[in-house]
Amino acid sequence: MKQLDKHVYGPWALITGASSGIGEEYARQVAASGINVALLARREQRLKEVAAGLTARYGIQARVIAADLSHDGILEPVAEATGDLDIGLVVSLPRQRLREIVQLNVITHLDLAHHFGQRLAQRGRGGIVLVSAVAAAGGLPYMANDSATKAYSLNLGEALHAELAPAGVNVTVHVPVLVNTPVVARIGLDRMRLPADPVSPEQAVDEALTALQANQPTTITRPEMTAAFEGMRAAVVQMIKARLAASQPAH
C-alpha cells in the first residue's frame, strides 16, 4: 500500500462518500499513512463506525460530517465544518440519482475543487482526487445524464491538474473500472459475462493514490480494462434495454 507524504497531503484529508465502498477505502488508506481524516457522507452512524475503526487501528483523528451532497448550498456547511483544519488532500466522490445527479457529479465537484483548490494553492502543497467513472469516456445510451456528468469531473480534473501544478498542488482524476463495490450488484454487473473480474476497492485506491503522488492527471483502474470498455458498454446497454422491455405492459 502506498504511503502518502504527510507533509504534503496532511495533516488532514477530506474524503466524501466515506461511509462505504471506494470512499471508505480511501479513508482507510489515507489514515494508514498517519493522516487525520474528515469523513463526509449522509449516514452519520455509519460514519461514526468508520471513524472509530480508523482511530483505533491507526491512531489518527477522525471528524464526522453528516451531510447530503445532493442538496444545494452544501459547500457552506462543509467549509464551516473544515475551516479549522489544515486540509492537505481532498477526495471527491460522486454518488448515483436526474437533477440530483447533476448536483452531485457537477456542482459538488466544482464547489469542492474551487474552495479547497484555493486553500491548497495558498499552502503551496497538497492534492485533490476527483473520482469519475468509465461513463465519462462517451455518451452512454440510456445513461445520457450520468455519462455527461461523469465527463464533467474528468475534464475539470484534467484542467485543474495543469492550473494548480505551479502552486505545488497535485490533481488526479480516478476512473474506476469494474471495482467490486455495492454498485456492481445494484446495477446487475455481477450477473453479466464481463471481460474481466472486478478488482478490490483496496487495489483501486492504492493505484489512485500512487498516481496522485506521481502527479498523473488521470488514472484508470486496471489499464488493460480500457481495451475491454467498449464491450462492457455494449453489455450494459443490452442489459438496460432488456430491463426496459420487461417493464413495459404486455399488449
Give me the percent of the chain exceeding a pLDDT of 70: 76
- Report how far residue 219's alpha carbon sits from residue 82's, in angstroms, rounded to the nearest whole number: 27
Q: What is the pLDDT of residue 238?
A: 67
Cell of 10: 496532511
More confidently predicted of 28 and 219: 28
Closest-CA residue to 94 (of 114, 73, 84, 109): 109
Mention every residue, 6+ apart, whose C-beta is less than 8 A from residue 26: 15, 18, 91, 93, 129, 205, 208, 209
Residue 189 counted as domain residue: no
Region 241-245 average pLDDT: 67
Check pLDDT > 90 for residue 82.
yes
Q: How many CB atoms lie within 10 A of CB 194?
A: 17
Are β-strands 87-92 and 62-66 bridged in parallel, bridged antiparallel, or unpaired? unpaired
Residue 62 counted as domain residue: yes
The count of structural domains within the chain is 1
Q: Which residue has the higher pLDDT, 167 or 191?
A: 167
Q: Is residue 236 part of a domain?
A: no
In a domain, 191, yes or no: no
Please state the separation of Cα 24 from the chain's center in Å.
10
For residue 226, pLDDT over 60 is answered with no
pLDDT at 214 over 90: yes
Residue bearing the bigger pLDDT, 53 or 175: 53
Residue 33: inside a domain = yes
Q: Is residue 97 part of a domain?
A: yes
**Looking at the predicted structure, is the pLDDT value of residue 230 above 60?**
no
Domain extent for 42: 6-182+197-223
What's the CATH code of the domain at 168? 3.40.50.720
Q: Is the dihedral of CA 175, 180, 182, 186 positive or negative?
A: positive
> Which residue did the predictor score with more confidence, 1 or 150?
150
* pLDDT for res 201: 86
pLDDT of residue 204: 87
User: CA torsion angle for 69, 74, 80, 86 (degrees, to 10)?
Assistant: 50
| Average pLDDT score over the chain | 84
| pTM of this structure | 0.78
**Cis-peptide into 94, omega within 30 deg:** no
Output 187 or 112, whichever has higher pLDDT: 112
Tell me the per-residue pLDDT of 108-157, one tens digit each, with 9 for 90 and over.
Answer: 899 999 999 999 999 999 999 999 887 776 777 767 888 888 889 989 99
Q: In 3D, which of 85, 175, 98, 178 has the Cα closest to residue 130? A: 175
65 is written with which cell numbers?
A: 460530517
Question: Is residue 202 in a domain?
Answer: yes
The residue assigned the cell 482524476 is: 173
User: Tens of pLDDT along 157-169?
Assistant: 999 999 999 999 9
Q: What is the pLDDT of residue 72?
A: 79
Burial of 46 (0-12, 13-18, 19+ CB in 10 A): middle
Q: What is the DSSP letter of 178?
A: S
d(CA 109, CA 107): 6
Interior/surface letters 99-129, b for 16+ CB within 10 angstroms, e for the rest: eebbbbbbbbbebbbebbbebbbeeebbbbb
240 occurs within a structural domain? no
Q: Given a cut of 80, is residue 196 above it in pLDDT?
A: no
Question: With 60 as the cut, is the pLDDT of residue 194 above it?
Answer: no
pLDDT, tens digit, 9 for 90 and up, residues 172-181: 999 887 766 5
